[in-house]
DNA sequence: CTTTACAAGTTCCAAAATGAAACCTACTAT
DNA sequence: ATAGTAGGTTTCATTTTGGAACTTGTAAAG
């Protein structure tokens, strides 16, 4: 499979990666959250080739995570600022940071710490349930087919990565009949 | 800069991406969390070339996110299972999923839903402060230089992506003197 | 027996993505 | 007149991919 086709997978991880899942894009976004806005700043900070940077910034603008704003006409100069869609990547960056802090320490300690303005304490952001507030780990959660998958199964499409067990159990429980003669993939 | 050098950046995002920041690795890990363990399963599910899959699985084993366990001797056949280090990637995948659910819907709705076993409710995992439990967004948090950066500044190294302002403010406040004649990068 | 299937790779090659360095354009400051 | 700054673009060699075919050892089917 070509990476270009990844955005049409029936999977939110795959679709998200189609936008931010290449070598440099998340580093560009990291810089955005630290206040970087201009081409040269990104380039010096990240150290990627100008070539790639041009391309990645354009894609982020195309995908509406960044907005390009001209701050000067002659010669034309622009800044790249996060949109809401871009701001929403925050949890991804925070999670990556948390993992790096824990597992990739080089012996000097955590590079950057977070301080929660609200409670005025150092914080290590964690995942929690938006309903009860409890912390969430892989074992605390059950994955259930959502409408995005059920609809496709009803149409006879079979997204490959979903364990059939999962969907069949669910279909049975919900008394939905899924035509089982249809083929995988849509 | 070469991608291979990215793991020595003074940045937890960069270091984490040096392990999981390529096209396919996070999809492999996604599958792991859904229970996939064997080569053929990964390959069918993800649709990446066997070539790459071999390589990515090996790297995940090298980096200790997966453990390779032989389940049969002749011919030798093995499974790949998540270690604690691998399990800790969970928040990253959940965050990617959340973003995809919100911004990359194809019109059919969310592919997979989460159900929190603890409170028995559907849940959308959110980031929160591990101290006070409040939800955290980009504006609720102040980034502060941690030991991993301070140490390097003391040694005269200047990690490029950190806004100098940030470190200088901090150094002043903490009354740390940082030799300003030293060069960036270490 | 002989053929087919399965699982987990490996090999080979063409096509695509990347990195480095040089170049371009339009100012501004020295 | 010269150098510097900002934001790119161009060129070209090197790396990384994707795809398809091949390998190895075993078991099951005809």
What are the pLDDT digits (tens) for B90-104?
A: 999 999 999 999 999
Q: Is residue A13 domain-shared with residue A66, that is, in the same domain?
A: yes
Q: Is residue A8 domain-shared with residue A81, that is, in the same domain?
A: yes
Mean pLDDT on B161-179: 76
Q: Is residue B83 domain-shared with residue B16, that is, in the same domain?
A: yes
Q: Is residue A27 domain-shared with residue A100, that is, in the same domain?
A: no
Are A144 and B114 inside 8 Å of each other by CB? yes
**Of A39-53, B32-46, B113-127, B142-156, which gets the smallest average pLDDT?**
B142-156
In chain A, which residues have their Cβ closer than 8 Å to the Cβ of B90? 127, 137-138
DSSP chain B: --GGGGGGSS-HHHHHHHHH-STTHHHHHHHHHTT--BHHHHHHHH---HHHHHHHHHHHHHTTSEEEEEEETTTTEEEEEE-HHHHTTHHHHHHHHHHHHHH---SS--SEEEEETTTTEEE--EEE-TTT--B--GGGEEEEE-HHHHHHHHTT---TTS-HHHHHHHHHHHT----SSSPS--
Q: Is residue A80 domain-shared with residue A98, that is, in the same domain?
A: no
Which chain A residues 122-161 have CB under 7 A to strand D? none
Task: Please report, in tens digits, the pLDDT of each residue of chain A (186 residues total).
Answer: 999 999 999 999 999 999 999 999 999 999 999 999 999 999 999 999 999 999 999 999 999 999 999 999 888 999 999 999 999 999 999 999 999 999 999 999 999 999 999 999 999 999 999 999 999 999 999 999 999 998 888 888 877 777 777 877 777 777 777 654 444 333
Q: Is residue A21 domain-shared with residue A76, that is, in the same domain?
A: yes
Q: Residue with CA nearest C25 C1'? A: A75
Q: Is residue A76 domain-shared with residue A41, that is, in the same domain?
A: yes
Confidence at residue A178, expressed as pLDDT on a 0 to 100 scale: 66
| Closest chain A CA to residue B11 | A111
Of B87, B116, B132, which marks where a domain is finished? B87
Is B72 within 7 A of strand D by CB distance? no
Confidence at residue B104, expressed as pLDDT on a 0 to 100 scale: 98
Q: Is residue B7 domain-shared with residue B83, that is, in the same domain?
A: yes
pLDDT band at B41 (very low <50, low <70, confident <90, very high): very high
Nucleotide nearest to A48 (CA to C1'): C19
Q: Kindly report the average pLDDT of chain B as a whole number.
A: 91
Question: Does residue B104 fall inside a structural domain?
Answer: no
Residue, of B169 and B114, whose pLDDT is higher: B114
| Residue B159 belongs to domain spanning | 142-186
pLDDT surpassing 70 at residue B153: yes
Of A54, A87, A120, which marks where a domain is finished? A87
Q: Is residue A116 domain-shared with residue A100, that is, in the same domain?
A: yes
In chain B, which residues have their Cβ closer than 8 Å to the Cβ of A10? 106, 111
Q: Is residue B9 domain-shared with residue B79, that is, in the same domain?
A: yes
C-alpha distances out from residue A74 to A70, A77, A78, Å: 10, 8, 11
Nucleotide nearest to B49 (CA to C1'): D18
Say whether residue A119 is in contact with chain B using an 8 A CB cutoff.
Answer: yes
pLDDT band at B108 (very low <50, low <70, confident <90, very high): very high
The number of distinct structural domains making up chain A is 3
Q: Is residue B17 domain-shared with residue B82, that is, in the same domain?
A: yes
Mean pLDDT on B46-53: 96
Distance A156 CA to D19 C1' (A): 28
Say whether residue A120 is in contact with chain B using an 8 A CB cutoff.
Answer: no
Confidence at residue B179, expressed as pLDDT on a 0 to 100 scale: 56
Confidence at residue A139, expressed as pLDDT on a 0 to 100 scale: 96
Question: Does residue B105 fall inside a structural domain?
Answer: no
Q: Please choose, from the candidates B57, B11, B36, B17, the residue with its C-alpha nearest in 3D space to the C-alpha of residue A26.
A: B17
What are the pLDDT digits (tens) for B68-88?
A: 999 998 889 999 999 999 999
Q: How far away is chain A from the Cα of B26, in angstroms, using its nearest Cα?
A: 8
Q: Is residue A181 domain-shared with residue A109, that is, in the same domain?
A: no
- Strand D bases near protein CB (under 7 Å) are 6-11, 16-21, 24-26
Nucleotide nearest to B24 (CA to C1'): D17
User: What CATH number is attached to the domain comprising B49?
Assistant: 1.10.10.10
* % pLDDT > 90, chain B: 77
Residue, of B161 and A56, whose pLDDT is higher: A56
Are A137 and B96 inside 8 Å of each other by CB? no
Q: How far away is chain B from the Cα of A108, in angstroms, using its nearest Cα?
A: 4
Give the whole-angstrom CA distance, residue B178 versus residue A113.
19
């Amino acid at each position: 499979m070509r990476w270009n086709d990844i955005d049409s997978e029936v999977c939110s991880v795959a679709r998200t990666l189609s936008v931010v899942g290449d070598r440099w894009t998340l580093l560009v976004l990291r810089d955005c959250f630290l206040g970087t806005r201009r081409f040269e700043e990104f380039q010096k900070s990240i150290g990627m080739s100008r070539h790639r940077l041009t391309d990645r910034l354009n894609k982020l603008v195309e995908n509406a995570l960044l907005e390009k704003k001209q701050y000067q006409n002659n010669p034309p100069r622009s800044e790249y600022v996060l949109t809401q869609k871009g701001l929403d990547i925050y949890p991804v960056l925070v999670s990556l940071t948390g993992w790096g802090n824990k597992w990739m320490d080089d012996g000097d300690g955590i590079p950057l710490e977070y301080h929660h303005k609200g409670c005025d304490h150092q914080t290590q952001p964690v995942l929690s349930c938006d309903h009860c507030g409890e912390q969430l780990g892989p074992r605390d959660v059950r994955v259930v087919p959502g409408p995005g998958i059920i609809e496709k199964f009803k149409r006879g499409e079979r997204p490959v990565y979903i364990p059939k067990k999962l969907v069949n159990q669910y279909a049975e429980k919900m008394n939905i009949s899924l035509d089982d003669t249809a083929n995988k993939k849509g």
